């Protein structure tokens, strides 16, 4: 009995499912809206029958009017017209803000490092043993300060010998002049005596120069650095006694990308901040005429006054170069939108309360808003509702105070 009861319930369930599925609709795609739909029982009763008549009489598959149903065959304009949003509809309300242009300084940021104006090896112009070193590392020197002295050796004797030869030649020259005046000697003899005097004087100058070269002096002002010689070392001609690094003025070196090289000009003001927090202001003193082959950027140099020598060579730094000003508009980010072609811009209200689209270029993003270019001097920017209107559409535009748009 229990088995018969279970089979009976299962049969009832199967019959219910069969009736429910038979009352459904089979949809064949690719035939357009409303086409390709038929009752499932039509697969069994192709020409109709009692099951088809029963389902039709029950009206189980009738489609009533659906709330919010959109006919897929309608265009967007026809849908808007059907929804009451066509040309005959009341203008949509939007909120606007009047934004006027303001001058913004155009600043080009650069990242680079400081570099000494020059680093000069103070070299010996003659050979000799170092007798003394007058400076030490880190010492500030001026142009003309003595750096090292070499053993004079026989150079002093050469000067004395040359001086004696000059004195002898001078005496002979003076005596010859007296003889010529008295008529004892011919006037043409003076030329030979004079030539001997000039030769002796030249030898004296050479001997004196050789002696002076034993005192090695700096040609520039700066700070003493390695390499340095030591007392007792033998210096040949051209070997360094010490190195002088010129730190005033200091240079800031960096590279300008080729996309911004049109802004670079000699004499532009720049503010430099080092990684150590030191700040200085200078001017652009050099712009390379050709780009680097590897980076396609142009090396530039900025001269920085460094009288207190606070700026050191080789420090990472950043510079901001002011290349001028440009009229820009400051807008909240929320007003930015895209047109149908994906162009970034804003929607505004023009004459006759018509909506217009203006493409913009973002120059800077700050806490106050985005700085953009590409707009007229004064514009009525739609701040609320810009996503629900299109260019050419008539709108009811008012400011946050309720004032109508001044077009």
Q: Give residue-wise pLDDT tens across range 140-192.
A: 899 989 999 998 888 888 888 889 998 888 888 888 888 878 777 777 778 88
Q: Is residue 294 part of a domain?
A: yes
Q: How confident is the model at residue 346 (pLDDT cuts 50, 70, 90)?
A: very high
Q: Select from 279, 294, 324 the last residue of a domain.
A: 324
Where in the sequence is the domain holding 317, given as residue range(s)?
A: 111-115+243-324
The pLDDT value recorded for residue 180 is 79
| Domains in the chain, number | 4
Q: Is residue 87 part of a domain?
A: no
pTM above 0.75, yes or no: no
Q: How confident is the model at residue 323 (pLDDT cuts 50, 70, 90)?
A: confident
Q: How confident is the model at residue 286 (pLDDT cuts 50, 70, 90)?
A: very high
Q: Is residue 49 part of a domain?
A: yes
Q: Report whether 161 contacts 233 (CB < 8 A).
A: no
For residues 223-232, average pLDDT: 88
For residues 383-402, average pLDDT: 87
Q: How many Cβ atoms from other residues are within 10 Å of residue 197's Cβ?
A: 20
Helix (H, G, I), strand (E, B) or coil at 287: strand
Q: Select from 242, 273, 303 the last residue of a domain.
A: 242
Separation between Cα atoms, residue 257 and residue 118, nearest integer Å: 26
pLDDT above 90 as % of the chain: 31
* Distances 79 to 33, 72, 344 between C-alpha atoms, Å: 16, 9, 27
Side-chain-side CA neighbours of 286 within 13 Å: the count stands at: 14
Q: How confident is the model at residue 67 (pLDDT cuts 50, 70, 90)?
A: very low
Burial of 170 (0-12, 13-18, 19+ CB in 10 A): middle
Distance of CA 35 to the CA centre of its chain: 61
Place of tokens 């004797």: 157
Give the CA angle between residues 205, 210, 215 to the nearest 5°.
Answer: 120
Side-chain-side CA neighbours of 267 within 13 Å: the count stands at: 1
Q: Report whether 356 contacts 345 (CB < 8 A).
A: no
Q: How confident is the model at residue 80 (pLDDT cuts 50, 70, 90)?
A: low
The pLDDT value recorded for residue 138 is 86
For residues 83-96, average pLDDT: 70
Q: Looking at the structure, do residues 320 and 344 belong to the same domain, yes or no?
A: no
Separation between Cα atoms, residue 97 and residue 329, nearest integer Å: 12
Q: Select from 242, 274, 301 the last residue of a domain.
A: 242
Helix (H, G, I), strand (E, B) or coil at 304: strand
Q: Is residue 24 part of a domain?
A: yes
Q: Looking at the structure, do residues 136 and 209 belong to the same domain, yes or no?
A: yes
Structure tokens at 47: 């020409």
């Amino acid at each position: 009995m229990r088995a018969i009861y279970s089979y009976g319930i299962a049969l009832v369930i199967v019959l219910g499912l069969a009736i429910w599925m038979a009352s459904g609709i089979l949809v064949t795609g690719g035939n357009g809206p409303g086409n390709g739909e038929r009752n499932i029982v039509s697969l069994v009763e192709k020409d109709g029958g009692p099951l088809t008549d029963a389902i039709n009489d029950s009206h189980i598959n009738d489609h009533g009017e659906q709330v919010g149903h959109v006919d897929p065959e309608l265009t967007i304009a026809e849908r808007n017209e059907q929804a009451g949003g066509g040309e005959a509809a009341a203008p949509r309300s939007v909120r606007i803000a009047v934004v006027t242009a303001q001058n913004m300084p155009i600043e080009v940021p650069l990242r680079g490092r400081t570099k000494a104006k020059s680093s000069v090896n103070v070299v010996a112009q003659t050979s000799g043993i170092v007798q003394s070193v007058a400076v030490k590392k880190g010492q500030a020197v001026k142009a003309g300060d003595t750096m090292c002295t070499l053993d004079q050796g026989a150079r002093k004797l050469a000067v004395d010998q040359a001086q004696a030869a000059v004195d002898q030649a001078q005496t002979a020259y003076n005596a010859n002049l007296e003889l010529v005046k008295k008529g004892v000697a011919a006037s043409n003899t003076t030329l030979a005596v004079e030539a001997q005097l000039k030769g002796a004087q030249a030898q004296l100058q050479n001997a004196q120069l050789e002696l002076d070269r034993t005192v090695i002096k700096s040609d520039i002002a700066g700070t003493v650095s390695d390499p340095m010689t030591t007392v007792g070392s033998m210096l040949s001609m051209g070997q360094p006694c010490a190195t002088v690094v010129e730190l005033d003025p200091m240079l800031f070196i960096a590279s300008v990308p080729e996309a911004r090289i049109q802004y670079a000009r000699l004499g532009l003001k720049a503010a430099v901040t080092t990684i150590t927090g030191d700040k200085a202001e200078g001017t652009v003193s050099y712009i390379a005429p050709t780009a680097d082959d590897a980076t396609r950027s142009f090396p530039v140099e900025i001269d920085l006054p460094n009288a207190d020598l606070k700026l050191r060579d080789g420090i990472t730094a950043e510079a901001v170069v002011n290349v001028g000003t440009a009229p820009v508009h400051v807008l909240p980010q929320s007003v930015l939108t895209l047109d149908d072609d994906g162009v970034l811009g804003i929607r505004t209200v023009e004459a006759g309360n018509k909506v217009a689209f203006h493409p913009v270029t973002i120059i800077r993003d700050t806490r106050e808003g985005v700085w953009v270019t590409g707009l007229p001097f004064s514009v009525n920017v739609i701040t609320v509702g810009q996503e629900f209107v299109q260019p050419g559409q008539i709108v009811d535009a008012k400011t946050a105070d309720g004032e109508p748009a001044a077009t």
